[in-house]
Amino acid sequence: MGFPGTWMTESQSMIYRVVPKCACSTIGQIMYYSDHGEFFEGDIHDATSGLHKWAMEESQPLISAGVQEQQIFSFTCVRNPYTRILSSFFDKICGIQRNGKRYRGNLVPMLIQKYGIEVGGEDGQEEFDQVRSFRRFLLFVRDTIRWRRPMEPDIHWSASSGHVSTFIRNGGRYDRILWTERFEEGMADVLRAVKTPVKVDLGAIPRFNESEGHGPKRAHPVEDYFDDLSMHLVYEIYKRDFRLFRYDFENPGNKMPLGEIDLDEVHAKLGE
């Protein structure tokens, strides 16, 4: 299986396990900058040089060695399940992607037909009942995760703990797990713990939100999208995320974690 979704700086100063929709564009650009003193021009996910990625065959032996020897600072970043799944809906389902097309080709037409979802018209900018469509999307997400139909779960809405766990099960160990909601604090700790060829001034780093502008703006507060049934569905899908990363299931309006992440518990539970 190896280490899918794992990136490492060319200087081997740090290793990062990508979790989609959890500040991954910003983290990737910080890693790139820490080696090269400049940002990658474009979406860091498209970079094929300047950063080791598991998806690039020539990087795999270096990443494998770096992870398994556990001598390189390794980290990942997670996000509140309520805001993460909402972000996935507005970006991937309602939004036009950077290639000018809908995400995954026929996915959105299928959702419109089978689940009665609206997405804001051809360009995602028309008004529609966001709450109703989002709740129907949640049913689809549950179907993909529980029954793997009408398709396999997508990386953007499969549980963060699932992404985090592959790194552990294949011999890796995290030195730090950041929260997206306290990104500056967590990333500052990472940068203090490593030596990079180029010093990074975190306060001067822009936020690289590559999904921003893809879809319609969220029209309501987070909690308005989740009634009792949708909260139940979210808990069914993301139970381990809430528990291990200390997020508040009871209050969708509280995006902040309730306590500290126990790294030993994460490794024990996700290494099984």
* Start-to-end C-alpha separation, the chain: 15
pLDDT at 124 over 90: no
Domain coordinates in residue numbering, the chain: 6-80+158-204, 82-155+213-238
Average pLDDT (75-91) is: 96
Cα 23 to Cα 48: distance, rounded to the nearest angstrom: 19
In this predicted structure, which of 34-43, 76-85, 201-210 has the lowest mean pLDDT?
Answer: 201-210
Q: Which one is predicted more confidently, 23 or 99?
A: 23
Lowest mean pLDDT among 90-99, 202-211, 248-257: 202-211
pLDDT digits (tens, 9 = 90+) for 153-180: 999 999 999 999 999 999 999 999 999 9
Q: What is the dihedral of CA 55, 146, 156, 136, to 10 degrees?
A: 150
The β-bridge partners of 78 are 179
Q: What's the whole-model pTM score? A: 0.95
The string of pLDDT tens digits covering residues 229-253 is 999 999 999 999 999 999 999 999 9
Helix, strand, coil percentages for the chain (3-state, nearest 5): 45, 10, 45
* Helices 107-115 & 130-147 angle (0-180, nearest 10): 100
pLDDT over threshold 70, residue 213? no
Give the integer Cα–Cα distance in Å for 3 and 6: 6
Pairing of strands 73-78, 176-179: parallel
Identify the H or E element spanning 109: helix 107-115
